[in-house]
């Protein structure tokens, strides 16, 4: 076969995540508790499910390329105009297009060491150079990120608030203040995938058309549509228009569009899911505490449980939980990797986790 292009040939043959289905095929049996992907096992709005079923008969049609109805509904929801909204194939797809738009080979990009790896995957794929700063007190460090952006001449600065993988968050005023201190030609990429679970004070008061920032939102988490692959960006109209130069115009399917539109309209279901997640976070903390693990404060739909050991121990615990039928994940770099991460889930799945955790820990104890 012809060789890959030089940039691609130099990349590692890896993927950002190994999915639970892959692990289940390796195990030969399904997981009893799927607690590692931060999905919403509470499911989508019944209205969204009905809308998607009704859309199946029209699936012979391509999706509406500009997501006209959904973009307008999102603009009304966020009190902005449709030209500040771009719908895409989840935040992952939007991040890939954004990096393609803004990063040339050799350009500097700043992120946190241990933050969402899919962003890094896109930066590497388009030839950008990643510069990382460590977390501080289990949270991303806005001051260090801004300082590194100045030092490197970064084109993009990525920050998630609330954070993945730790679940921590900054007050919105801290995020807004970053904008006044960033380099003039650097764009803040603010990942708000978990915003619906966060306290109102965590959401910065930033105009939708502020050209210094682009915000990423998703229907994968609180709205329960992870498998539909649909999310959106909020940004300045000129920046949003740039997506049309590079995106897959028919990448969002019409079933997802119908589901997202109905989900957005059903804010009652969203409130129900948020309440279920709050209860699940408390239960996860209690389960962890009973086995000597400490829950970090979380504004997401997962909880990071501190093992009070090191990354090797946490990795062994993840493997032991897998043998017990529990799919879980953990942060990838020290010192964050002393924790394991457990997604909020319905009672029966947390029952499985509660039963499995002591056995998994016992299996790691010296005989």
Are 169 and 56 within one domain? yes
Which of 226, 245, 266 lies at the terminal end of a domain, its last residue?
A: 266
Which of 248, 266, 284 lies at the terminal end of a domain, its last residue?
A: 266
Residue 111: Cβ-neighbour burial (10 angstroms; 0-12, 13-18, 19+): buried
Structural domain including 307 reads 6-43+268-364
Residue 277: Cβ-neighbour burial (10 angstroms; 0-12, 13-18, 19+): buried
Are 245 and 235 within one domain? yes
In a domain, residue 351? The reply is yes
Are 200 and 285 within one domain? no
Are 259 and 272 within one domain? no
Are 174 and 187 within one domain? yes
Tell me the pLDDT band of 12, cut-offs 50, 70 and 90: confident
Provide the domain count of the chain: 2
Are 144 and 211 within one domain? yes
Are 75 and 222 within one domain? yes
Are 66 and 86 within one domain? yes
Contacts for 172 with CB less than 8 Å, ≥ 6 apart? 161, 201, 202, 203, 204, 205
In a domain, residue 33? The reply is yes
Question: What mean pLDDT is predicted for residues 8-12?
Answer: 89
Instruction: Report the b/e string of 206-234 with b at 16+ CB within 10 A.
Output: bebbbebbbbbbbbbbbbbbbebbbbbbb
Q: How far apart are the first and last CA of the chain?
A: 53
In a domain, residue 172? The reply is yes
Question: pLDDT tens-digit profile of 273-310?
Answer: 999 999 999 999 999 999 999 999 999 999 999 999 99
Tell me the pLDDT band of 28, cut-offs 50, 70 and 90: very high
Rg (CA), the chain: 21
Are 226 and 82 within one domain? yes
Looking up residue 71, the CATH number of its domain turns out to be 3.40.640.10
Rounded Cα distance between 124 and 147, Å, is 22
Question: pLDDT tens-digit profile of 201-236?
Answer: 999 999 999 999 999 999 999 999 999 999 999 999
Are 214 and 80 within one domain? yes
Alpha helices, DSSP H only, in the chain?
A: 6-9, 20-27, 46-55, 68-77, 90-102, 117-125, 142-152, 172-179, 237-242, 254-265, 267-290, 311-323, 347-364
In a domain, residue 1? The reply is no
Which of 240, 266, 292 lies at the terminal end of a domain, its last residue?
A: 266
Rounded Cα distance between 234 and 118, Å, is 19
Question: What mean pLDDT is predicted for residues 38-65?
Answer: 97
Instruction: Record the pTM.
Output: 0.96
Q: What is the pLDDT of residue 18?
A: 85
Is the peptide bond between 162 and the residue preceding it cis, with omega within 30 degrees of 0? yes
In a domain, residue 246? The reply is yes
Tell me the pLDDT band of 367, cut-offs 50, 70 and 90: low
Are 79 and 214 within one domain? yes
Looking up residue 316, the CATH number of its domain turns out to be 3.90.1150.10
Which range (141-150, 237-246, 263-272, 358-367) has the least confidence?
358-367
> Residues 229, 231, 232, CA angle at the centre, nearest 5°?
155
In a domain, residue 348? The reply is yes
Note whether 119 and 98 are within 8 A (CB): no
In a domain, residue 53? The reply is yes
Are 273 and 260 within one domain? no
In a domain, residue 353? The reply is yes
Residue 3: Cβ-neighbour burial (10 angstroms; 0-12, 13-18, 19+): exposed
């Amino acid at each position: 076969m012809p060789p890959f292009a030089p940039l691609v040939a130099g990349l590692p043959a890896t993927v950002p995540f190994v999915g639970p289905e892959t692990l289940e095929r390796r195990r030969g049996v399904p997981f009893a508790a799927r607690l590692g992907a931060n999905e919403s096992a509470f499911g989508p709005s019944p209205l969204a499910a009905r809308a998607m079923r009704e859309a199946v008969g029209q699936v012979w049609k391509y999706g509406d390329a500009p997501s006209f109805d959904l973009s307008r509904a999102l603009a009304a929801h966020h009190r902005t105009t449709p030209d500040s909204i771009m719908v895409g194939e989840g935040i992952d797809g939007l991040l890939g297009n954004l990096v393609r738009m803004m990063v040339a080979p050799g350009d500097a990009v700043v992120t946190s060491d241990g933050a969402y790896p899919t962003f890094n995957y896109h930066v590497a794929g388009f030839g950008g150079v990643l510069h990382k700063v460590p977390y501080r007190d289990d949270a991303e460090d806005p001051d260090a990120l801004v300082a590194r952006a100045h030092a490197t001449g970064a084109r993009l600065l990525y920050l998630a608030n609330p954070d993945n993988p730790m679940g921590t968050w900054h007050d919105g005023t801290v995020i807004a203040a970053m904008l006044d201190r960033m380099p003039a030609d650097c764009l803040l990429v603010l990942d708000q995938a978990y915003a619906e679970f966060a306290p109102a004070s965590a959401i910065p008061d930033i105009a939708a058309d502020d050209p210094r920032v682009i915000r990423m939102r998703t229907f994968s988490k609180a709205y329960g549509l992870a498998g539909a692959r649909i999310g959106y960006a909020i940004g300045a109209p000129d920046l949003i228009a740039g997506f049309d130069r590079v995106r897959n115009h028919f990448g969002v399917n019409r079933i997802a569009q119908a589901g997202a539109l109905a989900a957005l309209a059903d804010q009652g279901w969203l409130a129900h899911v948020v309440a279920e997640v709050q209860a699940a976070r408390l239960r996860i903390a209690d389960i962890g505490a009973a086995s000597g693990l400490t829950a970090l404060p979380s504004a997401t739909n997962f909880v990071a449980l501190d093992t009070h050991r090191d990354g090797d121990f946490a990795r062994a615990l993840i493997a032991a939980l897998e043998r017990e039928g529990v799919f879980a994940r953990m942060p990838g770099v020290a010192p964050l990797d002393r924790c394991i991460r457990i997604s909020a889930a319905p009672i029966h799945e947390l029952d499985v986790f509660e039963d499995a955790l002591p056995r998994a820990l016992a299996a790691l104890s010296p005989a």
